[in-house]
Structure 1
């Protein structure tokens, strides 16, 4: 497994990153300053994805293992065009979460660049093959590494990173959790374009409730760019 420098949960850096990858300037990454309904109103609309950053604690690992056992034998049906990929590159979770956020929202234009090429060449591949393709993509690696150096913290101290990014998206009326460390997409029930923000916030709160003594959670959103 190769190792990348981790991305910082900095909206300005992540917005610059998605634009460098080829996402239209009409879209940006923004902070979600609170998960209560009145705070959610401050998020620019439309909101196409939530991106949650959290510590890989014992509580998360325990839940992940239990969830895997519960779902592994259930032949769940997912949309044919749900883009899901595994994460095989250490510290690539930020990039994987951004790919999941963009690839599952057709309204988010990808006009060129490394992301468009990656999505085209991996469209017919399995989640595992997509993860391997990212690991072997030297151009994607270079773009990630360049942006990872622009955060405010010391990116070279990545050996001790324990935080993990995942994406929450609305795909055909189902709220999906897309986590490259899990073996499959996770369904969180029905959602709509109108209720997605509050539905995704509820899932984020569930993550926090499983780790009540932990405060190192960050929530971001892929939204329309602000004028």
Structure 2
């Protein structure tokens, strides 16, 4: 949530707490079916903890501290890439550029629920459905403007940001955490979606039996991210993960 690429003076949201209950309330408020909810992932490797999570894992949100290691990797990987300019129904994923300060949690949630299997669980006629249908034909700059100007999105986020277990920080606070989403597209590709990057990042192909929390899904996604930090030496390994999956309500 340390949105260093978003200029001071731009619209800022109160940072969203990394709390599955808060996140579930927010996505349902926007218009996601109650068939899905967010779950804490207490371990990425311990079978006894993984087996209790309802599958398939539709999306993962990784929350991590912004480190020099990460910023260096991000700059180097993005340097050789063109700025993404996709739009339209033929896109494999819908990607949102972040232009609202401290809104990386919201952008991560939107990436998770407007792509892959979650898209089929959006309630027709809901605010989320209307937002997605308006966003699909737009280029990234116009999509970002759509989110920036959306009163329904701002209202739902403001309501959610006041919930949770901790006192909400000020909207202008400099919070050194960031959210990145991992989703499996309908074509079977694993995508890393981050509004601070130049566009969506295809991390490789998953098999029909794989979800984003499977061994292969983790190898290409969240574990690759964490190993990069570890191998760089001195990289922080403080992180948390939440998963969007079948509802247990």
Q: Same fold (TM over 0.5)?
A: yes
Partner of 2:41: 32
Runs of 4 or more, structure 1, over 4 Å off, are 73-76
Tell me how far 1:187 sits from its aligned partner: 1.1
Tell me how far 1:43 sits from its aligned partner: 1.8
Structure 2 contact 106–157 (Cα < 8 Å) conserved: yes
Query: Unpaired segments of 5 or more residues in structure 1?
Result: none
| Equivalences for residues 49-128 of structure 1 within 5 A | 49-72=59-82, 80-105=91-116, 106-128=119-141
Distance 1:6 1:75 in 2: 28
Is 2:56 aligned against 1:46?
A: yes
Tell me how far 1:73 sits from its aligned partner: 8.7
Query: Unpaired segments of 5 or more residues in structure 2?
Result: 1-9
Structure 1 contact 175–189 (Cα < 8 Å) conserved: yes
Task: Tell me the TM-score normalized by structure 2.
Answer: 0.83
Partner of 1:205: 223
Distance 1:133 1:46 in 2: 31
Partner of 1:170: 184
Tell me how far 1:74 sits from its aligned partner: 11
Partner of 2:195: 180
Distance 1:193 1:167 in 2: 20
Tell me how far 1:173 sits from its aligned partner: 1.2
1:112/1:222 Cα in 2 relative to 1: closer, same or farther (>3 Å)? Answer: farther
